[in-house]
Amino acid sequence: MSLVAHSLDVIKSLQAPSGAYPASPTFSAYRGYSWLRDGAFIAEGVSRHGDVAGADAFHAWCARVVGDRAGQVDALVSRAERGEAVTAAEMLPTRFTLDGVDGDDDWWDFQLDGYGTWLWALREHVVRHGGAVAGVEKGVRTAARYLTAFWRVPCYDWWEEHVEHRHVATLGSIHAGLRAAVALGVLSATESAAAAGAVEGIAELVAREGLAEGGHLRKWLGSDAVDGSLLACVEPFGLYPAGHPAGEATVAEVERQLARDGGVYRYLDDTFYGGGRWLLLAGFLGWNHARAGRRDEAVRHLEWMAAQATPEGDLPEQVSDLLLAPDRRQEWLDRWGPVATPLLWSHGMYLILAHELGVTA
C-alpha cells in the first residue's frame, strides 16, 4: 500500500463516530483528545484526496463543539468589554474529548490558533468541493466573535508553551481564520466589520512589531528567534505569502536555522523528547517550497517524511536520530512513553504535501 493510501486509511479508521480526529490513538498524553489545530490540517489533507465525508464530519464536529460554547464566549466578551480581567483558565480549551466535552486532565489549554486554523480549513474545504457543510453557522460565528475579542491577548503557542507572549504564528492563524469567516458569508454585518477590523489590526501589529532585523517573522513579539510554526504564516495562511519579501525571508531563515537533512526542528532551544526533527514541519517547509516553485526541494521533504515511517507505514511525531538536547530525551520517555506514533497530523501533512506535488501513490 502506498503511503498516501495508508495515511488515508489510518485517518479514516481512527476518526471517531463524532467526527473528531484523535491526535494519536495510543500516546499517553494525547489519547482520547482532538485538537482543533491538528484536526484542521488532517481534514485539509483528506479533503484534498477526496474524503469529503470525513472532512465534513470533522468540520461539523468542530462547529458543534464551538457553537455549544456560544454562551461562554458571549459572557467572556461582555466581561472583557466592561474592562474586567479574564484569566487564561476561563478561556475555551485547545483540545476536547472525542465526544466534544472539556477534558479533566491538566493541560496548557488557552491557545487561540486552533480556532483560526479551523475556520481557514473549513473555508478551504467548502471552496474545494463547491458546497456548504450543514450546520456550521453558529460555530463559525462563535469562533469569529471569540477571536475578534481576544486576538490581542497572550496565550500558549502551537507547542503549549510561553503563555506570557504573543506568538506570531498564532496571530497568523487568527488573521487567516477571520478572513475565512468573513468569506464564508455567515457573519452579521456587525460581526464582519469587527472581524475585518481585527484582521487589519493583526496585520498592522505584525508589520510594526513582528519582524526581526533581516526581515523575517519573529517567534513572538519582542524575540528575534524563529520557530518552525512561522512557516504557516507564509503558506498556507498568507499573512506574508510566497513572493513577499517577509515571507521569503521567513522561509529562508527557518530553513537556515532549523532544517537539517530533510527534517525540521521546532526551535533551537527545544528539549521535548530531546528536541528532534518533526515530520509535520517538514511538510510545512515542503509546502512552502512547492508554492514558490521549488519542486525539487519540496520533493526532498516529502521523501524524508516517507522515510521516517514504521514498517507498518505509520508516521511519528518526531524522530530521535539528530537531537538538539539528547540528554533531555529520557525524562520524556519516563513521563509519557515512546514518541507519539502514529501522529495523525503527520499523516495529514504528508497528504497535503503529496497533493501539492501531484503524488497520489
**What is the set of active-site residues?**
157, 160, 317
For the CA atoms of the chain, what is the radius of gyration?
19
Query: Alpha-carbon distance 119 to 117, whole Å?
Result: 5
Q: How far apart are CA 264 and CA 42, in angstroms?
A: 19
Strand segments, DSSP code E, in the chain are: 33-35, 95-97, 259-260, 263-265, 277-278, 318-319
What is the SS3 string spanning 119-139?
Answer: HHHHHHHHHHHCCCCCCCHHH
Q: End-to-end CA distance of the chain, in Å?
A: 8
Q: Grid coordinates standing for 143?
A: 469562533
Give the number of residues written for the chain: 361
CA 254 – CA 300 distance, rounded (Å): 16
Q: What is the dihedral of CA 253, 204, 39, 24, to 10 degrees?
A: 50
As given in the structure block, the three cell numbers for residue 311 are: 514498517
- Residue partners of 232: CB distance under 8 A and separation at least 6: 169, 172, 173, 284
Q: What is the C-alpha to C-alpha distance for residues 342 and 336, in angstroms, rounded to an integer?
A: 15
Q: 46, 347 in Cβ contact below 8 A?
A: no
Task: Answer for the pair 228, 266: CB distance below 8 angstroms, yes or no.
Answer: yes
Q: How far apart are CA 281 and CA 339, in angstroms?
A: 16
The residue to which cell 456550521 is assigned: 136
Give the Cα-Cα-Cα angle 239, 179, 255 (nearest 5 degrees): 20
